[in-house]
Amino acid sequence: MAGSDRYATSAAISKANYAPNVDVAYIANGGNFPDALSGAAPAGANKGPILLATTTGIPAAIATELARLKPKKIVILGGTGAINSSVATALKKYSPNVARRSGADRYATSAAISKASYGTNVDVAYIADGGNFPDALSGAAPAGANKGPILLSTSTRIPAAIGTELSRLKPKKIVILGGTGAINSSVATALKTYSPSVTRKSGADRYATSAAISKASYAANVDVAYIANGSNFPDALSGAAPAGANKGPILLATTTGIPAAIAAELTRLKPKKIVILGGTGAINNSVASALRKYLDQGPLLRIKLSELPATSKSVVTIKGTDGRTQSVTVAGEGVVSGLSTGTYTVTASNVKVTGTNLPGTYFPSGSKTVTLSATGETSVSFSFATVMNPQTITAPTADIVNGKSLYATPGTAGTVTLRNGYHTGDIVVAPRSAAAPQGLWIKLVSARSATSTSTTWTTAFPKVDEVFARGEFSTTLQSPVVLDASTAPASGGATAESGRMGDIFNPFSKELSCGASASMNFDAKVGGDVTTEVSAKWGFSRADNYIKAAAGVEVESSTSASVSGDAECILEKTDVLRNAVKLPTLFIPVGPLGIFQVPVFNSLQFTLEGTAKSHASLATSASAKVESSVEATLSSSGLATSFNPPAETSTFEPPNLTVNGEASFYLGARVDMQIAGVAGPFVTAAVGPELKADISADPWWSLDGKFKAGIGIDPGAFENLGLSKKEKDDLITSTWNIAHAPGPLTSPSPTPTPGGTGGGDGSGTGGDSGIGDGSPGVAALRSVATYNVESDLKCSLWTHEDSHGEFYSDRACGTLVSIGDTLYGPEGMPASGIDPASYTPVSQSVTGDGTAAHPIKVETVVDAGTTGIRLTQTDTWVKASNVISTRISVQNRGTASTSLRLYRGFDCYLGDSDTGTGELNVPGQLAGCLRTTANAEVVTLRLQGLTAGATVTEGRYSNMWSQIGAQGDLNNACQCFEDIDNGVAVGWNKSIPAGQSLNLLSEISLRRPSE
């Protein structure tokens, strides 16, 4: 049962459970849970719905439902701070009798609702923590069924109003909902004053407590069980009333999973029906599917087909291990029932499609193996992403007479002998076979000779999308960056000028004449490897097509150089080998089960470049090893690149020089891939040392390591991709210090000092001073009762000392992110004046019981639209503490680097007051709201950025929100000495490379200003 929001969901639950002319309907604030919790029990007992409203208005969905219900009586749960007088007046339109049940705070309201609903000598009364909702939610259903009130208490004492109500009720039994972290032992002992029987229903966490309450209250084979999100209360509140009336438990789950204790309880209950309270943002579809297995039904197999035209059908064969088969025709999606438990192989047939924008043979993904259990539903999916052009011919093995001379060097013709019946221009493919060990991927150019039964053809390579109109592939190539017997050119390849193999001649030795009597000598060796992963997708929408290359680079160079004479020598980037080394031909699998093979020719070339200056003589040597990775994606948006910063290790010999000089040289490697004989991705990497010496400087000489890498893509292997060649030769440039000697030089050369680790931008590592967050100080004036995070990152904070939440309207708090020109954030933050694009909730989970040993951790995951940015926010707190710690992991799941600004902010309502002064500490990245308590003590509600680089603000709440809405840096300013309606915020400006993430830390704390 779900609607577009909590109010529409509330109306939907009511409409599904109550006929018109109900005796009573209850109205509660949809943004605050305590009053509605207390009202859930009488609502269940009196068979009336709980409908959610705002403080100041009746949502349209609720108005429509009230008009349908025509209740004889409406009961408002809570005071005018929850549902104001204008709403109470408006409710009279729907019922002649509107009453209010309220008290001075949530506990007095709880007592007032009980007093108006129950006589004395009740059979049972339920006690729940008024600062946390899950345990009371789970207890609302049995309370309604057993006609007993839910009364709210604190963790450590029984409020006076509740004590008075218990004295009046004289319950025969009291049931405590939750463990000692919710209601401690001293409260349990005190409750024995009011009843001879006091018991507790609890578990290790809210989910185990929910299961324990259900097990104690319901026998197996219940008619219905209700499933609600254990970390968000509105949907479950609305469902508590029908659950009580229908004598079914409310069990708590997460957005994305069924906790083990709940699964065990559902197995015991064997419900005939399960009702999910809320939409997919509360309980997602995978959980909904998983719940089916707890119902009494046989196995179901759901078959889903994708990437097929709407009316196209595939014959799907289901084969059991006993050999029995069943075939069904599926268009889009279908469900197969009547199967026995066991393991099955499921296979979808090819589909020939004509008369569409993309005709051809559609190939499904391969066969799938599934195991069906006694209950529940199992899904199997087939993607028909690969489409062979209608003109492409798949040659039967019997037609291939000789396919062993297909693939010569790119640019030269190959040959194939086929049985007669083929024609010039035909594109022919075939899987591997004895006659064609590499399969066929050819275009017939001309006939060379013929017999009565066969023809020998001259062949060329067809473009990839001439064979398959649509498809995708991925493959990996490992290229050794070493010149040895395994990579040596064949006879007739590199000449002595380029370098003979063995110890006789080193191809990386160079001697240059620089004019006059000056010269420069290089002597170098190189090793390592380049591992390249290439993938492509074509024939889809223009925005979806791409070619991607990602390379892991490990290159090692040992280089020595000497310069003599008074001159400057320059060696431009030069290929070392006359002919590049041919690497083994690679075959990319394409099509169903990868049975067709696209040939990829690969080559390796080495390069050398350098410069040197000297006024006398200079000699040095160094070895450097670098590991890094580069990535590029060529799409309609251009070339998107990213890299991981290089990791370096080095050894060296101190330079021998007589006066000032400098030298820099690179030894590099380049790997080229030619897909179907046409240029494709390439990767470059080079490494070497750089020496600078000046006897009057400090240091007087410094030896650095230098590294650079690049990547590029040529889409020439595709006919219709609509992309052009792009490259970035120096995607990474890095410099790090290997060694240096202090100067200026006034004595013999000092002992060199090893250098530090370099960064991708040439900077070395350094210390981090960190950011302080204040001394421990004395005990805080406020302690946390509960902290709630909604699935869209709105937040709420309640303390034991204040009647209202610590944020305006309880929920004027949230996390927002600005990407491009769009601000993403929670929907409907009270009085913010900004309207961000809504997050897409992904999941939410809660662990811990609130003790110091097991703090409560709420992990909430959201996506910022389709930007590829995912936020994983983890909020951690201990009951009765004064700090909530927050870690936000920002992940870039896209293909390009993304710049963003992330903000956290709230509108203060500390100490039940909307106005006060403020505080600001810019170096500490801290802003706070100050309030003076009734006994003249000052308390502050702080927000502090614990990750460096933040900006902060304190001031009028509207100014704080408008700064976030402007999507710029916060002003690092405050209106600290003005008594105003204020708020605070912290923000960061960050850039995240594709595929990477970063963590941003912050905390909310309740302290004295002196702390």
The pLDDT assigned to 973 comes to 93
| pLDDT for the residue 500 | 27
Residue 759's pLDDT is 34
Reported residue count of the chain is 1011
Name every residue whose Cβ is closer than 8 Å to that of residue 588 and which is 6 or more positions away in sequence.
Answer: 473, 475, 534, 597, 598, 600, 675
Residue pLDDT, tens place only, 263-285: 999 999 888 888 888 888 888 98
Tokens 């939440």 correspond to 805
Q: Categorise residue 602: left if φ over 0, alpha if ψ from -120 to 50, beta otherwise.
A: beta
195-199, 344-348, 428-432, 969-973: lowest mean pLDDT where? 428-432
CA distances from 370 to 173, 304, 337, 377, 378 (A): 51, 14, 14, 11, 8
CA atoms within 13 A on the CB side of 132: 27
Residue-level pLDDT at 22: 93
Q: Model confidence over 738-755: pLDDT tens digits?
A: 666 666 755 444 444 444
CA angle (665, 668, 670) in 5-degree steps: 155
Specify the higher pLDDT residue, 495 or 633: 633
> Strand, coil or helix: what is 168?
helix
Helix axes 60-69, 6-17, angle to 10 degrees: 20
Lowest-confidence segment of 110-124, 414-428, 679-693 by average pLDDT: 679-693
Mean pLDDT taken over the chain: 82
Q: How confident is the model at residue 375 (pLDDT cuts 50, 70, 90)?
A: low
568 Cα distance to chain centroid: 53
> What is the residue type of 317?
T
> What residue ranges do the domains of the chain occupy?
6-294, 300-384, 396-462, 512-754, 784-1007
CB 103 within 8 A of CB 161: yes
Q: What is the mean pLDDT of residues 153-169?
A: 94
Torsion of CA 228, 233, 235, 239, to 10 degrees: 70
pLDDT at 761: 33
Residue 395's pLDDT is 92
Residues 46 and 23: beta-carbon distance below 8 Å: yes
> Torsions phi, psi of 539, nearest 5?
85, 0
> What is the per-residue pLDDT across 488-503, written as a single tens digit (0 to 9) for each?
443 333 222 233 223 3
Task: Calculate mean pLDDT across residues 861-880.
Answer: 95
The DSSP code for 364 is P
- The reported pLDDT for the residue numbered 558 is 65
- Give the integer Cα–Cα distance in Å for 798 and 784: 6
Q: How confident is the model at residue 419 (pLDDT cuts 50, 70, 90)?
A: very high
pLDDT value of residue 561 = 59
Query: Across the chain, how many H-helices and E-strands are there?
Result: 14, 57
Beta strand spans in 123-235 (E): 125-129, 150-153, 174-177, 198-201, 225-229
pLDDT for residue 840 is more than 90: yes
In this structure, of 80-89, 142-151, 283-292, 417-426, the range with the lowest mean pLDDT score is: 142-151
Q: What is the pLDDT of residue 765?
A: 28
Rg over alpha carbons for the chain, rounded to the nearest Å, is: 37
Contacts of 767 (CB under 8 A, 6+ apart): none
- DSSP lists the bridge partners of residue 898 as 992
pLDDT band at 763 (very low <50, low <70, confident <90, very high): very low
Span 360-369, mean pLDDT?
89
pLDDT at 538 over 90: no
DSSP state of 805: -
pLDDT tier at 650, thresholds 50, 70, 90: low
pLDDT at 756 over 50: no
How far is C-alpha 587 from the geometric centre of its chain's CA atoms? 34
User: Which of 188, 169, 69 is closest to 113 using CA atoms?
Assistant: 169
pLDDT at 977: 85
Give the pLDDT score at 490: 37
| Distance between CA atoms of residues 274 and 294, nearest Å | 9
482 against 226, higher pLDDT: 226
Identify whether the C-beta of residue 628 lies closer than 8 Å to the C-beta of residue 647: yes
Give me 476's structure tokens. 């990996």
Tell me, what's the pLDDT at 687? 74
Residue 448 and residue 415: Cα distance in Å, rounded? 9
Q: Which helix (H) or strand (E) holds 111?
A: helix 106-117
Distance CA 34, CA 36 (A): 6
Helices 34-45, 234-245: axis angle to 10 degrees equals 20
Q: What are the tens digits of pLDDT across the range 18-45? A: 899 999 999 988 877 777 777 777 777 8
- DSSP for 778-794, please give it: S--S--EEEEEE-TTSB
Burial pattern 75-85, b for ≥16 Cβ within 10 A else e, equals: bbbbbebbbbe
Q: What is the pTM of this model?
A: 0.43
Q: Give the pLDDT confidence score for residue 780 in this predicted structure.
A: 57
Q: Mention every residue, 6+ apart, whose C-beta is less than 8 A from residue 904.
A: 814, 815, 816, 886, 943, 985, 986, 987, 1002
385, 382, 381, 383: which is closest to 360 by C-alpha? 385
As given in the structure block, the two tokens for residue 529 are 């490897």
Q: How many CB atoms lie within 10 A of CB 435?
A: 19
pLDDT in tens, 980-989: 999 999 999 9
d(CA 639, CA 729): 12
- Residue 974 near residue 746, CB atoms below 8 Å: no
H-helix or E-strand spanning residue 291: helix 285-291
Q: Which residue has the tokens 């006066």?
A: 659
Residue 567 has pLDDT above 60, yes or no: no
Name which residue leads in pLDDT, 848 or 558: 848
In eight-state DSSP terms, residue 923 is: T
Q: Do domains 300-384 and 784-1007 have the same CATH topology?
A: no
Sign of CA dihedral 59, 62, 68, 73: negative
Looking at residue 34, what is its pLDDT? 74
pLDDT at 656: 58
Question: Tens of pLDDT along 805-829?
Answer: 899 988 999 999 999 999 999 998 9
C-alpha to C-alpha distance for 109 and 101, rounded to whole angstroms = 7
Query: For 454-462, what is the mean pLDDT?
Result: 90
User: Residue 376 above 50 pLDDT?
Assistant: yes
Could you tell me which residue, 399 or 404, shows the higher pLDDT? 399
Q: CATH class for domain 300-384? A: mainly beta
Mapping DSSP onto H, E and C, the string for 40-71 reads HHHHHHCCCCEEEECCCCCCHHHHHHHHHHCC
Which of 13-17, 23-27, 620-624, 929-933 is least confident?
620-624
Q: Which tokens in the block code for residue 809?
A: 């309207």
Q: What is the C-alpha separation between 933 and 993, in angstroms, rounded?
A: 48
Question: What percentage of residues in the chain have a pLDDT greater than 90?
Answer: 37
Say how many CA atoms lie within 13 Å of 334 toward its Cβ: 13
Q: What pLDDT score does 754 carry?
A: 47
Tokens for 376, please give them: 């529940």
pLDDT at 560: 62
pLDDT at 777: 35
Give me the pLDDT at residue 521, please. 59
pLDDT at 499: 30
Burial label for 134, CB within 10 Å (0-12, 13-18, 19+), is buried
Predicted local confidence at residue 485, as pLDDT: 43
Q: Are 879 and 181 in contact (CB under 8 A)?
A: yes
Read off the pLDDT of residues 598-619 as tens digits, 9 standing for 90 and up: 877 777 777 777 776 665 555 6
Is the C-alpha dihedral spanning 857, 862, 864, 868 positive or negative? Answer: positive
Find the helix or strand (DSSP H, E) in which 360 lies.
strand 360-363
How many whole angstroms separate alpha carbon 620 and alpha carbon 705? 13
Counting Cα atoms < 13 Å in the Cβ hemisphere of 892 gives 18
Vertex 530, ends 529 and 533: CA angle to 5°? 145
Instruction: Mention the CATH class of domain 784-1007.
Output: mainly beta
What's the average model confidence in pLDDT over 878-906?
95
Lowest mean pLDDT among 38-52, 166-180, 997-1011: 38-52
Q: What is the pLDDT of residue 173?
A: 94
Residue 373 has a pLDDT of 83
The lowest-confidence range among 145-159, 489-503, 539-553, 684-698 is 489-503
Task: Categorize the per-residue pLDDT at 168 as very low, low, confident or very high, splitting at 50, 70 and 90.
Answer: very high
The answer, yes or no, to whether residue 379 has pLDDT greater than 70, is: yes
Of the pLDDT bands very low, low, confident and very high (cuts 50, 70, 90), residue 757 is: very low
Say how far apart CA 565 and CA 570 lie, in whole Å: 14
pLDDT at position 75, please? 94
- β-sheet bridge partners, residue 634: 547, 639
The string over 373-400, giving b where at least 16 C-beta atoms fall within 10 Å of a residue's C-beta and e elsewhere, is eeebbbebebbbbbbbbeebbebeeebb
